[in-house]
Amino acid sequence: MASRQNIVQRIATLREQINYHNYRYYVLDDPQIPDAEFDRLFRELQALEQQHPELITADSPTQRVGGAPLGEFKPVRHEVPMLSLANAFDDIEVEAFDQRARTRLEVEAIEYTAEPKLDGLAISLLYEQGELVRAATRGDGETGEEVTHNVRTIHAIPLRLLGKDYPGLLEVRGEVYMPRRGFERLNVEQEARGEKAFANPRNAAAGSLRQLDPRITAQRPLAFYCYGVGRVQGGKLPGQHLAILNCLREWGLPVSGEIRQVQGVMGCLDYYRAMAPRRATLPYEIDGVVYKVNSLAQQQALGFVSRAPRWAIAHKFPAQEEMTRVLAIDVQVGRTGALTPVARLEPVFVGGVTVTNATLHNEDEVHRKDVRVGDTVIVRRAGDVIPEVVSVVLSRRPAKTAVFKMPKQCPKCGSQVVRPEGQAVSRCVGGLYCPAQRKQAIKHFAARRAMDIEGLGDKLVDQLVDEALIHDVADLYVLTESQLAGLERMGDKSAENLIQALEKSKHTTLARFIYALGIREVGEATAQALAQYFANLKKLEQADLESLQQVPDVGQVVAESIYRFFRQAHNREVINKLLEAGITWPAPVATAAAQTLAGQTFVLTGTLQTMTRDEAKQRLQARGAKVSGSVSKKTTYVVAGSEAGSKLADAQALGVKVLSEEELLKLLGQSL
């Protein structure tokens, strides 16, 4: 058995190793061992501590989450006040800041540090003899709230400092933030739980630190960068800001890798201009950069005014969020018929551009945010993405507003709008007729595997529609050579060729024609199955949902899409025009089998020897039978193959006659 001395030693070694690897991972961003190895060390320590609870210390890496939820947050007075930062919104304000500082210091140029300004919340960490003993929010700078229990759960924050040469008492200051990816993941989880999504990473970070139950905070992807120190006793720190941060990093505290030493105000502005385009690609949100006088002696000489140092300033990026009013909510129709609600806004300057529209994504989004015409909303433009409405400022909602309703008719063509169950997107069923979908539909119609109209490329379709020479696919067949020859980049010869290609395309097959119609959910294979089953366009047009579902591989969704397509008068009109234009296909070769099984309903179960169930279904249907998925009193026969399951039992229970495969073949006029 291991001696107590050995166990004490092993626990100390494990803690040291875990702290070191945590440091490699969170501070240096350069892990040395795989996660699995780290987990192994961690579990070994956990096991030893469980066997020897008297050896557990508060700064052990296993002790990040512990204790019961708090009843309230205790106030903490900051002995050295946490100052605020003055803002500069343009170069001129930065130059004025530099000018004031140079005048006071009576120097030609000042050495600054430049660092990103994280959009999180400022906190203070108190280390005594290297051990984290207290964490507090900034509050009003004089008094904050104690959040030690929550801050301990943030893995980037060491519970114990590394090395030995840190001051006996060290107050570290920095920003707790939530990286973008963690924020996105958290919001997905929040919505899955039916809870409210956070409007931005800053709110998410603040909300996560303000939890009374640290177990909740522990599940939030929080991170931390330090940007300065407060109280320091029992040790000396260097005389430059950047050198101090480098010390903090060596003691295991995370410091941004983006901090630079720069010369004079030009150095500051260069840093700003280099950072601006990188803003969207950083793994965390920043709302500007911060310039600080590097020399502590100069900092001291400058002092502060009304709680803000004269030696530091935040140079803000243009705001990414602004408030404005919703003038209208329009619905746009996309290429595929998808309807997107868009908020028309009173023009507002956000993130460096004037925004007049913001997407509302889909019907559910509008209702979740409850955006209404007349509302004051917060709009956001992050990076280069499309501006979006973040939330409604409810306190500013005018008296009479109406809940948004998705139109029942397409705003472009008046066709029916449908939203399939379980889907977020509403669509116009206008298809061939809807102008928004027309170009797309015509391109599809002309495609090689559809009507195969040689020479009718995408650009030409765009031109023809834009010049109003065609409105639907049927118009293609009344185009004249002279109309075509008049188009840009179109010679007499190509016009003649296209007319010939159009003539040639009139001789097609029913399957190609059905595919060319561009019915949603109907690809080539389904078009072929439909052609084979119905053999005749009129029958397909008139088919009800039930008979559509009799076609192999056609389920409810596809059947509904086909059914709806043919219920649109416009679609039938276009089809008639096409037929009048002379589109033909050979009549079905095989004359339909005698409808010997008409009026009978079959259910197939188990494995058949001579054919698949799908083939059996097709052959039964070819003779006029219906094939159903479940057994009822209306079922004529259940055909049971080997390993037949519950359907066979259902048949026996309901007294439905059961057929063997041999008997089925006899009915089909064959033998085994």
Instruction: Give least dist CB 214 to ligand D41, A.
Output: 23
- Quick one: CA torsion of 167, 173, 178, 181, rounded to 10 degrees? -60
Complex with ligand D41: residue 315 or 380, whichever CB lies closer: 315
Complex with ligand D41: residue 312 or 450, whichever CB lies closer: 312
H or E, element range at 652: helix 646-654
Complex with ligand D41: residue 85 or 373, whichever CB lies closer: 85
Complex with ligand D41: residue 114 or 418, whichever CB lies closer: 114
Instruction: Give least dist CB 432 to ligand D41, A.
Output: 56
> Residue 158, class by beta-carbon neighbours within 10 Å (0-12 exposed, 13-18 middle, 19+ buried)?
buried
Cα(201)–Cα(380) distance, rounded to whole angstroms? Answer: 13
Complex with ligand D41: residue 152 or 292, whichever CB lies closer: 292
Complex with ligand D41: residue 321 or 370, whichever CB lies closer: 321
Instruction: Give least dist CB 249 to ligand D41, A.
Output: 15
Residue 561 C-alpha from the chain's centroid: 27
Query: In this structure, how many other beta carbons lie within 10 angstroms of the beta carbon of residue 670?
Result: 11
Complex with ligand D41: residue 172 or 574, whichever CB lies closer: 172
Complex with ligand D41: residue 122 or 135, whichever CB lies closer: 122
Instruction: Give least dist CB 122 to ligand D41, A.
Output: 4
Complex with ligand D41: residue 117 or 443, whichever CB lies closer: 117
Instruction: Give least dist CB 137 to ligand D41, A.
Output: 10
Rounded to whole angstroms, what are the CA distances from 35 to 456, 488, 611? 57, 62, 52
Write down the catalytic residue from 74, 117, 196, 577: 117
Residue with structure tokens 């097709």?
618
Complex with ligand D41: residue 122 or 326, whichever CB lies closer: 122
Instruction: Give least dist CB 241 to ligand D41, A.
Output: 9
Interior/surface letters 357-372, b for 16+ CB within 10 angstroms, e for the rest: ebbbbbbebbeebebb
Instruction: Give least dist CB 144 to ligand D41, A.
Output: 11
Residue with structure tokens 């260097």?
238
DSSP per position, 594-631: P-TTTT-EEEEESB-SSS-HHHHHHHHHHTT-EEESS-
DSSP per position, 195-233: PPPPSSHHHHHHHHHT-SSHHHHHTS--EEEEEEEEEEE
Tokens of 207: 């909300």
Q: Are strands 626-628 and 223-233 parallel, antiparallel or unpaired?
A: unpaired
- Quick one: CA torsion of 555, 559, 561, 565, rounded to 10 degrees? 160
Instruction: Give least dist CB 299 to ligand D41, A.
Output: 9
The question of whether 539 is a catalytic residue gets the answer no
Complex with ligand D41: residue 240 or 505, whichever CB lies closer: 240
Residue 286 C-alpha from the chain's centroid: 20
Backbone region of residue 465 per phi and psi (left: phi > 0; alpha: psi in -120 to 50; beta: other values): alpha
What is the chain's length?
672
Instruction: Give least dist CB 427 to ligand D41, A.
Output: 45
> Footprint of ligand D41 on this chain (CB under 6 A)?
83-85, 115, 117-118, 122, 138, 175, 227-228, 290, 292, 309, 312
Cα(444)–Cα(122) distance, rounded to whole angstroms? Answer: 57
Q: Are strands 131-137 and 143-145 parallel, antiparallel or unpaired?
A: unpaired
| Nearest residue to 416 via CA among 272, 563, 288, 283 | 563
Instruction: Give least dist CB 81 to ligand D41, A.
Output: 10
Cα(115)–Cα(597) distance, rounded to whole angstroms? Answer: 81
> Residue 242, class by beta-carbon neighbours within 10 Å (0-12 exposed, 13-18 middle, 19+ buried)?
middle
Strand locations in 268-320 (E):
286-293, 304-305, 308-309, 312-316
Instruction: Give least dist CB 217 to ligand D41, A.
Output: 20
Cα(3)–Cα(6) distance, rounded to whole angstroms? Answer: 5
Complex with ligand D41: residue 174 or 552, whichever CB lies closer: 174
Cα(390)–Cα(378) distance, rounded to whole angstroms? Answer: 5
DSSP per position, 336-396: TSEEEEEEEEEEEEETTEEEEEEE--SHHHHHHHT--TT-EEEEE--TTSPPEEEEE-GGG
Instruction: Give least dist CB 228 to ligand D41, A.
Output: 4
DSSP per position, 523-558: -HHHHHHHHHHH-SHHHHHH--HHHHTTSTT--HHH
Rounded to whole angstroms, what are the CA distances from 338 to 425, 492, 637? 6, 38, 44
H or E, element range at 447: none
Give CA angle at 482 (477, 484), nearest 5°: 60
Q: Which residues are catalytic?
A: 117
